Amino acid sequence: MLGGSSEIALATARRLIARRTRTVWLAGRPSPALEEAAGQLRGLGADVHTIAFDALDPTSHEAVLGKVFAEGDIDMVLLAFGLLGDQARDEREPEAAVRVAQTNYTGAVSAGLVCARALQSQGHGSLVVMSSVAGERARRANFIYGSSKAGLDAFAQGLGDALHGTGVHVMVVRPGFVRTRMTAGLPESPLATTPEAVATAVELGLRRRSETVWVPGALRVVMSALRHLPRAAFRRLPI
Amino acid sequence: MSADTDSDPHVPGLEHTTVTGWGRTAPSAARLIRPRTYEEAAAAVRDCGARGGIPRGLGRAYGDAAQNAGGAVLDMTGLDRVHAIDADGGIVLCDAGVSLHRLMEVLLPLGWFVPVSPGTRYVTVGGAIGADIHGKNHHVSGSFSRHVLSLELLTADGEIRTVVPGTPLFDATAGGMGLTGVILTATIRLQPVETSMMSVDTERAADLDDLMARLAATDHRYRYSVAWIDLLARGAATGRAVLTRGDHAPLDALPARARGNPLSFRTSRLPAAPAVLPEGLLSRTTVSLFNELWYRKAPRTRSGRLQRISAFFHPLDGVPHWNRVYGRGGFVQYQFAVGHGQEDALRRVVRRISERRCPSFLAILKRFGESDPGWLSFPVPGWTLALDIPAGLPGLGAFLDELDEEVAAAGGRVYLAKDARLRPELLAAMYPRLDDFRALRAELDPRGVFVSDLARRLHL
Ligand SMILES: Cc1cc2nc3c(=O)[nH]c(=O)nc-3n(C[C@H](O)[C@H](O)[C@H](O)COP(=O)(O)OP(=O)(O)OC[C@H]3O[C@@H](n4cnc5c(N)ncnc54)[C@H](O)[C@@H]3O)c2cc1C
Ligand SMILES: NC(=O)c1ccc[n+]([C@@H]2O[C@H](COP(=O)([O-])OP(=O)(O)OC[C@H]3O[C@@H](n4cnc5c(N)ncnc54)[C@H](OP(=O)(O)O)[C@@H]3O)[C@@H](O)[C@H]2O)c1
C-alpha cells in the first residue's frame, strides 16, 4: 500500500485480509498514524510491515520499493497516496500547486514504473492505481488536482497496455467523492461513497481483472455524459 | 501446446506466455520452453535464470503446480517418444512427455493397459509420476509410482540420474510435483487385458452411510471402483450416490461379433465447449436438475454391462475444453483424503458442503487402498472426496479454509495436484514427510532452480 495511512488503502487492506491476504506492507511517510494503522491490521491477523516512503522523493523509490520486493512476491500494489490541495491557495501559490502535481503525478509515475518492473520480473500481480473522476474532465473548482489525476490516469492506462501479456494487470480506479479525511469539511457531491465501497470495488475488480473501475459504478454513465457536454455548459455546472 | 496457455504473438519482443492450470484460476506469466531433445532440456534447466524453472506436462493439474511466474516453464510434451515395449513381459520405456492417451493407443492392441488411469487420458507420464496419481483401481493397484520400475531424472546440477524405487530420490520424486527435477523417461509395468471393453456393475446408494457400507463390503471384488455423489441432495438423501465398479472384460464376455477385434481402442469426441460461455450458466438450479436427472437415470442395480474404456474411465474427455463451462472466473477442485476411522470427519464435510449448496456437479468418492512411499504422495488408506466448485462463489475461500481445518484435524490431507489455495501452515500436518522433502531439495538443488507457483505459495 503506497500511501500506507490512506483511508481508502486501509479499508482495502482490511477487506483483503478478510479474504485471506497474509502480508501487508504499508509504505508511507513515518508517523504515529502509520504505525497505528499497522497495529490495527495486525489485529486482523496479517503480518504487517511499515516502510518509509515519500512520493516527493523519486530518487529514493527504487531503493525503498526494491527492499519490499526483495522480501518475497507481491500480489498487489495499491498506489493510494495523493494530495487534494486547496484550489484557491494553490492558484495563488504556484509552489503549492506544484506539490500537488508532484505528489499525484510525478511521484506516481516514478513509483508506478518501479513497481511495474518488479511485478513484471516476478511474472504476476496487479497494480491498482487510485485515479479519480476529477481527472475525467478538469473542473473549475479543482483543476489543479484534477489535471494531476488526468495525467496519472493516462499514465496508468498506457502502463496497462504496455504490461498486457506480461502476467501483470493494471487497474485504474476512479472514485467519485469518498468520505475520508481528504474530503473532510467539503460539501458532499451526489453519489458520495465510502472507503469500504471503494475497497469492495477493488476486490471485485481484482477478481475479474478489470482494467477500469468506477466507484460507485453509476459514475461511469454520469461521466460519459459530462464528458460530451459543450464547454460553455460544463463551465456553468454547479460541480 | 496444452489447452490453457494463452500467448499474444502480436506484441514484438514479448517472450512471456500466460499459463494457468486446468481450473483457469491465478494465471501467471513465464517463458515457455519446449525442449525437443534431452540436451535442449538440460540447456533450459541450466539457463532458466533467477526465477527458476518447472516441468509441465499437459497442464491437467487444476491449480498452480505447473506454472512458474516470471521464470521458465518447460513444456515436456515435445519429448514424446515411446522407446521400447516388451510385449511379452508388459513393460514400456517411454519419454515423460508421452500422454496416457498415446500409451493406450499403442498398448491396447498388444493386450496391455496403463497400470493407473486418472479421470482423463490427457496427462503425461511425467505428470502422472510428479503428482503420483491414483485411479479407480487404487484399492487394488496403489498409485502410479508403484508401477514405475525406473526413471531418468534431470536434476538441478545438470546431471541425468537413473532413479529406482526404494531410494530417497525416488520417494521425493513420486508426488514431488516436479520439484526434484525433470523426469525425462520412465519404465513402467503394465496391466494385461484381453479386450478393450469394461464389464461394469452399477448400483445406487441412498445416502452416504449406505454408500460407505457398500464400498467397504464389496470393493475388493472389483479392480475398479468409484462412486458419484450428489452433493446438492440434502436431508435424508445427503450423500446419495451411484456406484460404478468393474473390471476389464474377458474375451468370452464379448458378443461373438466383437471377438474378432477385441482390442480396438475407440473414443468419441464431441465439439469443444465454446471459449466464452455466459456467466451463471451453472446455477444451483441447473446443476441440481442435472444431478437429479442423473440419479434417477441410473439403474437401481445392473451388472455386467459392457462399456468402452473411454466411457468408463474418461467420460469428460469426450468434451474438449469442458473446463470452460465454469466461465471466465475458472473453478477450484477440492480433493481431500481422510484415513479409515475418520468416517465422522467425512460425514461432517459432506454435510457442510450439502448445506452450503455449492453448485457442484457430481462429486467423486473413492475408497483408497494401501499408500505408496512417495513423501508427498497423496493417497492414504481411507476415503477421498473430490468436487468442482466455481471459483467466484462468494465466501468460498473462507469456507474451504474451514474444510481444510476439519480435514487436517482428522489427520487427512488435500491433494496438491488439485490445489490452488491451501494455506501453508496446514501443509506440515497434512504431509508428515514434508521436512524430509525440503531437506532433500535443499541438498539436491541448493540454488532453488526448480520452483513453481505452488512451491512458492506453500514453501515446498
Ligand atoms: C478431468 C480430470 C480428471 C482427473 N482425475 C484424476 C484422478 O482420477 N486421479 C488423479 O490422481 N489425478 C487426477 N487428475 C489430475 C491429473 O491427473 C494430475 O494433475 C496430473 O499430474 C496431470 O498431468 P499433466 O501431464 O497434465 O501434468 P501437469 O498438470 O502439467 O503437471 C502436474 C505436475 O507434474 C509435474 N510434472 C509434469 N511433467 C513432469 C516431468 N516430465 N518431470 C517432473 N515433473 C513433471 C509438474 O511440475 C506439476 O507439478 C485429473 C485431472 C483432470 C483435469
Ligand atoms: N477521498 C476522495 O474523495 C477521493 C476521490 C477520488 C480519488 N481519491 C484518491 O484516493 C487516494 C487515497 O485518498 P484517501 O481518500 O484515502 O485520502 P487520505 O486518507 O488523505 O490519503 C492520502 C494519503 O496520501 C499520503 N500522501 C500524501 N502525500 C504523500 C507523500 N508525499 N508521500 C507519501 N504519501 C503521501 C498521505 O499520507 P500522510 O499520512 O503522510 O499524509 C495519505 O496516506 C488518493 O490518491 C486520492 O487522490 C480520493
| Domain-embedded: residue A1 | no
Give chain A's mean pLDDT: 95
Q: Is A105 a catalytic residue?
A: no
Q: Which of B7, B8, B16 to mutate to test the interface with A (most CBs of A within 10 A)?
A: B16
Residue-level pLDDT at B189: 98
Domain ranges of chain B: 82-193, 197-428
| Domain-embedded: residue A2 | no
Residues of chain A with Cβ-Cβ distance to B330 below 8 Å are none
Is the confidence at residue B4, as pLDDT, over 60? no
- Gap from CA of A23 to ligand 2 centroid (Å): 21
- Does this model's pTM top 0.90? My answer is yes
Question: A166 and chain B: CB distance < 8 Å anywhere?
Answer: yes
User: Residues B160-173: pLDDT tens digits?
Assistant: 999 999 999 999 99
Q: Which of B206, B212, B240 is nearest to B225 (CA)?
A: B212
Kindly give, in sequence order, each residue whose CB lies less than 8 Å from that of residue B52, ignoring residues fewer than 6 positions away: B68, B71, B72, B448, B449, B450, B451
The closest residue, in CA terms, to atom 47 on ligand 2 is A82
Residue-level pLDDT at B281: 63
> Could you say which of B14, B18, B69 has the minimum Cβ distance to residue A122?
B69
Chain A nearest C-alpha distance from B29 (Å): 5
Q: How many CB atoms lie within 10 A of CB B114?
A: 23
Instruction: Give chain A's domain count.
Output: 1
State the cell numbers at B322.
Answer: 469442458
CATH class of the domain comprising B197-428: alpha beta
Say yes or no for a CB contact (<8 Å) between A123 and B29.
yes
Residues B369, B139 contacting (CB under 8 angstroms): yes
Ramachandran category for residue B124: left, alpha or beta (phi over 0 → left; psi -120 to 50 → alpha): beta
Residue-level pLDDT at A3: 98
Calculate mean pLDDT across residues B271-299: 73
> Could you say which of B27, B401, B456 has the minimum Cβ distance to residue A73?
B456
Calculate mean pLDDT across residues B287-295: 79
Q: Are strands B5-6 and B16-19 parallel, antiparallel or unpaired?
A: antiparallel
Distance in angstroms (rounded) separating the CA atoms of residues B79 and A174: 49
Q: Which CATH topology does B82-193 take?
A: 3.30.465
Angle at B47 between CA B45 and CA B48, to 5 degrees: 65
Residues of chain B with Cβ-Cβ distance to A118 below 8 Å are none
User: Residues B362-397: pLDDT tens digits?
Assistant: 799 999 999 999 999 999 999 999 998 888 888 888
Ramachandran category for residue B384: left, alpha or beta (phi over 0 → left; psi -120 to 50 → alpha): beta
Is the confidence at residue B214, as pLDDT, over 70? yes
User: Residues A160-207: pLDDT tens digits?
Assistant: 999 998 989 999 999 999 999 999 999 998 899 999 999 999 999 998
Q: How far is CA A58 from CA A68, A105, A106, A107, in A?
A: 16, 11, 8, 6
Q: Where are the alpha helices (DSSP H) in A57-194?
A: 61-70, 87-92, 94-101, 107-122, 143-163
Is the confidence at residue B91, as pLDDT, over 70? yes
Q: Where are the alpha helices (DSSP H) in B132-259?
A: 138-141, 168-173, 208-218
Closest Cα in chain B to A117: B70
Residues B256, B202 contacting (CB under 8 angstroms): no
Residues of chain B with Cβ-Cβ distance to A123 below 8 Å are 16, 28-30, 51, 68-71
Distance in angstroms (rounded) separating the CA atoms of residues B91 and B434: 32
Burial class (CB in 10 A: 0-12, 13-18, 19+), B374: buried
Calculate mean pLDDT across residues A203-214: 94
**What is residue B383's three-state secondary structure?**
strand
Say yes or no for a CB contact (<8 Å) between B392 and A207.
yes
- Gap from CA of B174 to ligand 1 centroid (Å): 12
Residue-level pLDDT at A54: 98
Residue-level pLDDT at B2: 40
Residue-level pLDDT at A31: 98
Q: How far is CA B147 from CA B79, B174, B243, in A?
A: 21, 11, 26
- Domain containing A89: what range? 7-235
Say yes or no for a CB contact (<8 Å) between B8 and A123.
no
User: Residues B149-198: pLDDT tens digits?
Assistant: 999 999 999 999 999 999 999 999 999 999 999 999 999 999 999 999 99
**pLDDT confidence bin for B319, thresholds 50/70/90:** confident
Whether residue B99 has its Cβ less than 6 Å from ligand 1 = no
| Domain-embedded: residue A206 | yes
Q: Which of A220, A215, A223, A221 is nearest to A15 (CA)?
A: A215
Which of A34-43, B83-92, B288-297 is least confident?
B288-297
- Here the CATH number for the domain that contains residue A112 is 3.40.50.720
| Domain-embedded: residue A146 | yes
Percent of chain B with pLDDT over 70: 94
ipTM: 0.85
Residue-level pLDDT at B14: 42
Dihedral angle sign, alpha carbons of residues B251, B253, B257, B263: negative
Ligand nearest to the CA of B317: 1
Which strand (E) or helix (H) includes residue B408? helix B396-409
Residue-level pLDDT at B277: 61
Whether residue B70 has its Cβ less than 6 Å from ligand 1 = no
